[in-house]
Amino acid sequence: MMIFEIISTGIFGGIAFKAFLKKGSLLNDSGKIQRIFSLSGLNVKDGKETLTTQLKKKKEYEWGMEYRYKIPYGRSFEDYVKKQHVLESGLSNPRQKITVEDLKALKDVPLDAEIIDNVKSVFTKRMTHKKEIELSFDGMLIIRVYNEPLPTTINWKEAYLKKNTWSVLIGSNRNGDFYHDFDKRKHLIIAGATGGGKSVIMKAIITALTLSKPNDVTFSLIDLKGGPAFARFRNLKQVINFGVDNKEALDILKDIQQKMNEEYKKIVDNGYEDVSEAGIRKRHFIVIDEAADLADDKACMAILTDIVRKGRGAGYYLIYATQYPTAQAVPSQIKRNIPARLCFVLDSSIASTTVLDGSGAERLPEIPGRGIYKEVKQTILQTPYMSNDLIKELIQPYIITKEEKLENAQPKARTNTVTIEAI
């Protein structure tokens, strides 16, 4: 090890010393940010005076640096959000200088025949390191610069399961795990371009709900792409309706609406506000993949509007997913009643605004599972990945034959029938 240190010092010492002498001319992240503000037009001209974004405080954490700025008059937080991709690109530019920290990283390089390639690999990785940032506002502009990016894959594990609840893991980031509680936020809109992670998270939600509430949850699955996303759930005991085209979708929605209205009336007539107050355990989930294909079907959209209005009280919850989020595909009457959204990368700020009521999704990296979850505030997170093989293994105990499904359907008792229970 001593020989290696001497050799590495000889090779890189001169370079590092030269970099050290010139470090005064190099910009640290704070300086880069200030420079980017200026070059991006975020400073404000007031006559002859230039009002700048003033750094008031910076603090180092284990995860990176936090900078707090006073925004000049004439600028808003949204102005900075629009420039987030510019900030990230500027902070992630490959460095041209080797630092002492780079040299320290060589101590873990294995001493073998590939030492030269290993050294090159260390420097390539360190000097082209991409930084991710996060912007927020609490009266001051807060910019967090992270040392490491979010992981590109978070594998689902049993520890994420919240048994006997209606909460499902929606994703994780540096601040922890985020769960969507369907009893608090009854419905959910999911949007994203092909390959972004939309189908993966829907399958994970269906699986997690089945595992956590096997005796209380039922599903109506409508896959308007022909059925591939939900095919593995078709013979799930909890799935009572399965449709793959607009005609089947309309028939299913009509049946759901009739049952929902009957059960909603019973709840109200008994003096309760919703299923939770009435002590009802059952919940029914209507999951629609590629809901945009229903946009021109006035009958379907009228029923869906009724479901998002009354379903919250009757225990009928809608997951409305599309890869084409236009104003027509996600109409205002649907959005108005579904404040919770999960959005993966999209191709334009217009599409992002349709889902999130603001831009941002178009700037997400093209990493499968990277999304923005919005309840009141927006959070960038990585959604959990559940492989098809794992799904098959987890739901196998609940798969029944078609004959068994027919037998179960013979007694004409309504699915998700309301029974007012003592609390």
In order along its 423 residues, the chain shows pLDDT tens digits of: 444 444 444 444 444 434 433 443 346 889 999 999 999 999 998 888 899 999 999 999 988 999 999 999 999 998 998 888 899 888 876 655 566 666 666 666 777 777 777 766 666 665 556 788 889 899 999 999 998 889 999 999 999 999 889 999 999 998 899 999 999 999 999 999 999 999 999 999 999 999 999 999 999 999 998 878 899 999 999 999 999 999 999 999 999 999 999 999 999 999 999 999 999 999 999 999 999 999 999 999 999 999 999 999 999 999 999 998 999 999 998 999 999 999 999 999 999 999 999 888 998 989 999 999 998 888 999 999 999 999 999 999 999 977 676 666 654 444 444 454 543
In angstroms, the Cα distances linking 91 to 36, 101, 145, 284, 331 are 9, 18, 9, 47, 39
Show the tokens assigned to 80.
Answer: 């900075």
Where are the domains positioned within the chain?
A: 2-146, 154-409
Residue 391: in which H helix or E strand, if any? helix 388-395
In angstroms, the Cα distances linking 323 to 65, 189, 196 are 36, 11, 9
9 with 96: CB under 8 angstroms?
Answer: no
145 with 65: CB under 8 angstroms?
Answer: yes
Report the top-level CATH class of 154-409: alpha beta
Contact partners, residue 305, CB within 8 Å, separation at least 6: 331, 333, 334, 337
Give dist(CA 77, CA 382) in Å, integer: 24
The strand pairing partners of 399, in sequence order, are: 236
Angle in degrees, CA 252, 256, 257, rounded to 5: 115
Residue 321: in which H helix or E strand, if any? strand 316-322
Residue 49: in which H helix or E strand, if any? strand 49-51
